Amino acid sequence: MHPIPETILFLARSLDRGGAERQLVVLAKSLASRGHAVSVAVFFGGGVYETELAESGVRVLNLGKTGRWDILPFLYRLVHLLRKKRPTVLHSYLGVPNILATVLKPLLPGTRIVWGVRASNVDLSRYDWLSRLAYALERSLARFADLIIANSHAGATYVVKHGFPAQRVVVIPNGIDTQRFRFDLQGQERIRAKWHIRESELLIGLVARLDPMKGHTMFLQAASLLAAKFPNLRFVCVGNGAPDYSENLKQMAVELGLRERMIWAGAMDDMAAVYSALDIFCSSSAYGEGFSNTIGEAMACGVPCVVTDVGDSALIVGDTGSVVPPGDHNALAAAIGRLIDRSPEERRGLGEACRPRIVSEFGIDRLVQRTEQALGLV
């Protein structure tokens, strides 16, 4: 394929582990593989996904921000980079990058400013004043963006309700790498052995950073109800979070009698193996979810899912999974219990129905095609 004369510069805070960052990497790699000139600028270097991008030929440009209050030197480096690169498209991801891309728009005549919006009904009262200020600025500047890409219908509805211009908002769902995320028998055996899961035990897992929006307290309360009813259950939480909040969750698990039933796995890299090790996947998000990568990844690995009706989670699972109201741990426990009561063959059948939905509706090819059309690259 001959190179397409377009230059796309992504702007993000970092390439550390996270759903938005994962999607940025997937999209940048895929666009580059289709002949587009792509680079990624990050505020903070050293993220876990940088090597993956570099190996695919996408250049990562580290702006060298040293902390929250490193402002003027950082802005000087960013302006210098943008003037040097003069991208055709500057595609920012999330709040502060969106704000900066728009504030600097007068310096970039001919560059399309494209925002990435990745969440829906965020409860800003749970975050600090700077986060609330950033969202207020983002709302006031939204009308100056040339295009706003939401990764979920729920996210698009939310931002339009809060003053973003509807005519500039489009929905492009996330793309799941279905070659990477598929059932892995050897990985299943390795992870279950590592976690000391017996063949007779069912493993129920939640994969998310330890954050109030992800609903871990609801998951733990549901796990406590299930553990009292089913003696052969184990539970795992995969992901890291703020130390104080993480410790509070672990203490809550102990108080609920889950000390011997619960595994706190932390962040893990071989996620296809992790999903394959699960018998049931749970997403218990309380608010703020847009398009949950983890639901799509688990489904691609053939794992039946129980999810809360937050963001586009219900749309992702369709008729292949169970959907319960957010915050209702009794409903979550009941839905998981109905899956436990099914035979192993029935659960496998439900899991096998998940993957085709992800392949057909939410594969990487669909993400790239939709993005090229939205950015005017085709």
Tell me the one-letter amino acid at 152. S
Q: What is d(CA 349, CA 14) in angstroms, rounded to the nearest whole number?
A: 39
Closest CA to 277 of 344, 205, 227, 338: 205
CATH number of 185-361: 3.40.50.2000
Note the pLDDT of residue 136: 84
Calculate ∠ Cα 138-243-250, nearest 5°.
120
Note the pLDDT of residue 4: 47
Note the pLDDT of residue 377: 81
Would you write out the chain's pLDDT as a tens digit for each of its 378 residues?
Answer: 444 446 899 999 999 888 889 899 999 999 999 989 999 999 999 998 999 998 998 999 999 999 888 899 999 999 999 999 999 999 999 889 999 999 999 999 999 999 998 876 665 556 666 677 777 888 899 999 999 999 999 999 999 998 999 999 999 999 999 999 999 999 999 999 999 999 999 999 999 999 999 999 999 999 999 999 999 999 999 999 999 999 999 999 999 999 999 999 999 989 999 999 999 999 999 998 889 999 999 999 999 999 999 999 999 999 999 999 999 999 999 999 999 999 989 998 999 999 999 999 999 999 999 999 999 887
Contacts 24+ apart (CB under 8 A), 63-71: 68/130
CA separation, residue 179 to residues 75, 187, 297, 357 (Å): 39, 15, 11, 14
Sign, Cα dihedral of 4, 10, 16, 21 = negative
Residue spans per domain, the chain:
4-175+363-375, 185-361
CB 189 within 8 A of CB 266: no
Q: What is d(CA 213, CA 187) in angstroms, rounded to the nearest whole number?
A: 29
Structure tokens at 40: 């990624």
Note the pLDDT of residue 5: 46
Note the pLDDT of residue 1: 43
Fold match between domain 4-175+363-375 and domain 185-361: yes
Chain-centre distance of CA 103, in angstroms?
Answer: 26
Closest CA to 142 of 120, 167, 163: 163
Per-residue buried b or exposed e for 246-273, using 16+ beta carbons within 10 Å of the residue's own CB: beebbebbeebebeebbbebeeeeebbb
Q: Could you tell me the fold of the domain covering 4-175+363-375?
A: Rossmann fold (3.40.50)
